[in-house]
Amino acid sequence: MENSFEKNNMLKEFYIPTYIFMPESSVEQVSHIPSCPVIVFINTRSGGQLGHNLLITYRKLLNHAQVFDLLDETPDKVLHKLYNNVERLKRDGDTLASEIHRRLRLI
C-alpha cells in the first residue's frame, strides 16, 4: 500500500497554488513546479450525491482553488480568468505561471 509520503509526493505534481487563480492573492514562492497541473470541474448534481462527494474529496487532495463546481462557475469563465492571470504573472516574470501555462492541456 502506498504510504503518505508517496501519496503527497504524487499529489504535488497536480497542485497549483492559489495565486495562479486569484489575481488578488499574494504571489507565493514555490520550490516545486508540478509536472501535470490540473484544474478540476465537477457537476455536483451529477450521480446523486457522488458529485458532491467528489467535490469534497478533490478539494481535500488538491488546492481548493483549483477545483470548481459547475453549478457555481462555468469552465469558460474559469479558464478566461485563469489565462488572464497567468499572462499577467508571466509578464511579471513568474516562472511557475510560465510553466503552468506551458503544461496545461484541455482534454
The pLDDT tens digits of the residues spanning 17-44 come to 999 999 988 898 888 999 999 999 999 9
- Summarize pLDDT for 58-83 with one digit per residue, the tens: 999 999 999 999 999 999 999 999 99
b/e burial code for range 44-65 (CB count within 10 A of at least 16 → b): beeeeeebbebbeebbeebbeb
d(CA 5, CA 3): 6
